[in-house]
Amino acid sequence: MAKRKLRRIDVVKKRSGWVAQTKSGRTFARGSTKQTVVKNAAAKARGSSRPTSVRIHGRDGKLQEERTYPRRADSRHSKG
């Protein structure tokens, strides 16, 4: 079985608030709080037919956490 490439959504802080977007700039969620945007981005990723990685960044831009949906698409098979 061929492995499908993960779509990546990054949750980052912008001047206007928090945004969940792809590398190409497509916006999936927008809001004033990080928690709301992460929740909405995760819901979109869960509902997607493509394997999706949601990467959550802090205010400083550093990567804090990465979540893969569906779980079986995570190549690392980590517990976290």
Surface-to-core class of residue 35, CB atoms within 10 Å of its CB (0-12 exposed, 13-18 middle, 19+ buried): exposed
Helices (H), the chain: 34-47
Confidence label for 41 from pLDDT (cuts 50, 70 and 90): very high
Per-residue pLDDT at 68 exceeds 70 = yes
Contact call for residues 6 and 68 (beta carbons, < 8 A): yes
pLDDT of residue 72: 61
Q: How far apart are CA 35 and CA 24, in angstroms?
A: 23
- Other CB atoms within 10 A of residue 79 CB: 4
For the stretch 50-67, pLDDT in tens is 899 999 999 999 999 999
Per-residue pLDDT at 6 exceeds 90 = no
User: Residue 55 corresponds to which tokens in the numbers above?
Assistant: 């990467």
Specify the pTM.
Answer: 0.81
